[in-house]
Structure 1
Amino acid sequence: MTSFSLRAAALEPPVPLRLHPASEQADQAARDFLYRHGIVDPARGDGYLVETDFGAMVGCMYPDADPAVLPLLAQWMALWSIADDQFEALAPRMTGTALAAVCERIAGFLTPAGAAPDPSRIGTAFGHVWQAVAQRTSAAWQARFRDAWRDHVDGCRWEAEQVRAGRVPTLAEYLRQRPRYLGAHIAVVLTEAAHGVELPGRFDRDPLLRRAVDAGIELIAISNDLLSAEVELGQGSMLNLVPIVAAQESCSYDAATDLLLARYGQRLADYRAAVAAVEAGLGSGGESVAVRAVAMAPGVWTSGQLAWSAGNARYSDRRERFYQHVPDHIGVLIGTR
């Protein structure tokens, strides 16, 4: 069977790849942040983190970010990835009550300005990077980001419940839920902070912009699932587009992959048409800069993901070895460690 990662690498990037010139400095800032907060022991985790290169991640996905903001984005992504990986491993083994409690606590990591951070090590780290980003943004943007974060955590809870029940969702259900626990909407909202712009309220539910964002987010989901399929199938997880399409279509994983590659091509055409429609209605003012950035965000993210993820340590067995030496920060929240 052809490597899923190699098949994903053949996907057409929605936009040309660009790398932020400050990516290396952002990567060092991310690692220093994890070490400073005691999230990772540098003696045991530095090699994996260097290979993973969260600076390159945000450099590809936010190539036009304010250079002063790029290190904060790298810190956020590095911390978020560790929390997400640990939650994904632990949550399916929790009782329903414990799962609800830990999700509520994680959702509360993003505290209002001036409020004390969550006292856990990982909660304090989230509080620090969140406040550093928040102080550059308006109260309205912060509220939207907190809403996106809470929706993401709720999506992670849904994922854990499916795994615990051994349930394989339908393709339609999965495509509704995957953007939530993937955190795709968080990534899009972060684009505004990266660019130093904010989406005007009247565009928040604009149908043309929504169409572009939704099509682009499906590109993120398809490419991410192809890139992570080998690792997830190796771990026994069926919450991935490859086995879900194979089950729905009663076909092999290779045939399911072909169907996903075709779906990606169709959604790419939909995305480009939607972006063109958004562009056709824009002028050159400040509002247009923000709208254009949001419309382009999922396409830029997908191109960056394809470049960063293929062959990355995060999508290999090196990730499992790395977590053997990382404190169980999520387990601490419910007293399992």
Structure 2
Amino acid sequence: MKSITIPALYCPFESKINNHLASTEQHTNNWIRQFKLHEGADFEKFLGDNFAYMTARFYPEASEKNLWLANDINCLLFVMDDAMDNQVDRADMIKTRNSLLEFIDKCNAILHHPETYTGPDTGVFTALHDVWIRLMAISTPEWQQHFIESLQMMFQAAVWEFDNVAAGKIPTVPEFYNTRQFLGAAHISTDMISVIEEVNISRELLNHPTVHELTVLARNAVCWANDLFSLTKELEHGDKHNMVIIVKEERQTDLQSAIRETVMIHDKDIQRFVTLANELPGVDPDNADLRKYIRILSAILIGNIDWSSAETKRYNFEFVRA
């Protein structure tokens, strides 16, 4: 299928990249081989995805070992998401609803009782156990509980999508707007900021309406951009859980009009993010950790566009030339 043409996205943030990119790429390539998450031609495709560039842009101020961990987690999440995302050729481990639920149960057992895990030396579950042990070593019990809850939201969204596909149902625009952040784990990327970037920000502050809205806006904007970037692939896979496709179906419009409307949704969320970040109603604008948190959210927003448009072979699209 020929590449999709997308209008330029509004994202007025400075592009940054972590100095530990090269060592992170080497580390994760070895980690992927160790746990056999990609092999043969699949490993060559993985190399073309260039996930280390994405992670280095998402967390530009992280320490080397923290960036290694973040990239391992991101690559593992992409393995999981790709398995669940392909509606034409689902991976064996989640081919049926029961096998999907069994997969989720095994993940939950590792998260809740990592000390009892006795799985094989390789594979998704062993890789999950490895990153979870490493995450636990640098995080608080409170953060760990929140992270487990966030993964449950990702799993619940996967079941929701599976059931929709089985029933031949396409969600409405409002339904998808409220759920999309949990499909593909955009919320995990923002949850990891406090640990990977060592931002000392309290749960109380993260739950403040202003900060919470900033976080959700960032997650959603990444998702709308991703829906645009991955549109070619998802049309080929028959995946209709994509804002462009949902807008097209609901509005009964053509594909290019749906693309333009999705760009408008993205840009509106970014504009709201910029306004909130500048004004910060109800919170201390001089809080250094909050300012860093917002800075990293901004890095994720622009980093997703930079990586998707220039540094990965994962997507097939072109921006409209001015």
- TM interval, shorter chain, is 0.7 to 0.9
| C-alpha RMSD of matched pairs (Å) | 2.5
Contact 1:171 1:244 survives alignment (8 Å)? yes
With normalisation by structure 1, the TM-score equals 0.84
1:232 equivalent in structure 2? 234
Q: Deviations over 1:87-116 (max 9, x none)?
A: 333379744433322222233343456443
- Does 2:129 correspond to 1:127? yes
Contact 1:192 1:293 survives alignment (8 Å)? no
Contact 1:117 1:127 survives alignment (8 Å)? no
Q: Quickly say closer, same or farther: Cα 1:114–1:103, change in 2 above 3 A.
A: closer
2:37 equivalent in structure 1? 39
Q: How many pairs align?
A: 311
Q: Quickly say closer, same or farther: Cα 1:111–1:125, change in 2 above 3 A.
A: farther
Contact 1:88 1:160 survives alignment (8 Å)? no
Question: 1:307 is matched by which residue type in structure 2?
Answer: D
Alignment gaps of 5+ in structure 2: 317-322
Among 211, 217, 220, the alignment partner of 2:219 is 217
1:171 equivalent in structure 2? 173
C-alpha distance in 2 between matches for 1:61 and 1:158: 28
Question: 2:268 is matched by which residue type in structure 1?
Answer: Q
Among 58, 69, 81, the alignment partner of 1:61 is 58
Q: Quickly say closer, same or farther: Cα 1:280–1:25, change in 2 above 3 A.
A: farther
- Does 2:201 correspond to 1:199? yes
C-alpha distance in 1 between matches for 2:119 and 2:220: 33
Contact 1:223 1:302 survives alignment (8 Å)? no
Note the C-alpha offset of 1:263: 2.0
Note the C-alpha offset of 1:310: 2.2
Question: 1:79 is matched by which residue type in structure 2?
Answer: L
Alignment gaps of 5+ in structure 1: 317-337
SS at match of 2:65: coil
1:16 equivalent in structure 2? 14
2:272 equivalent in structure 1? 270
2:75 equivalent in structure 1? 78
Question: 2:13 is matched by which residue type in structure 1?
Answer: V
1:1-337 equivalences in 2 (<5 Å): 3-4=3-4, 6-7=5-6, 10-41=8-39, 43-89=40-86, 90=90, 94-112=95-113, 114-116=115-117, 118-119=119-120, 121-278=123-280, 281-282=283-284, 284=286, 288-310=287-309, 312-315=312-315
C-alpha distance in 2 between matches for 1:2 and 1:215: 31
With normalisation by structure 2, the TM-score equals 0.88
Q: Which moved more, 1:114-123 or 1:150-159?
A: 114-123
Q: Which moved more, 1:68-77 or 1:79-88?
A: 79-88
Question: 1:313 is matched by which residue type in structure 2?
Answer: K
SS at match of 1:15: coil
Contact 2:210 2:283 survives alignment (8 Å)? no
C-alpha distance in 2 between matches for 1:20 and 1:298: 15
Q: Quickly say closer, same or farther: Cα 1:208–1:83, change in 2 above 3 A.
A: same
Contact 2:224 2:262 survives alignment (8 Å)? yes
Question: 1:99 is matched by which residue type in structure 2?
Answer: L
C-alpha distance in 1 between matches for 2:110 and 2:308: 27
C-alpha distance in 2 between matches for 1:117 and 1:225: 38
C-alpha distance in 2 between matches for 1:105 and 1:175: 29
After TM superposition, which residue ranges in structure 1, 4 or more long, deviate above 6 angstroms? none
Contact 2:119 2:126 survives alignment (8 Å)? yes
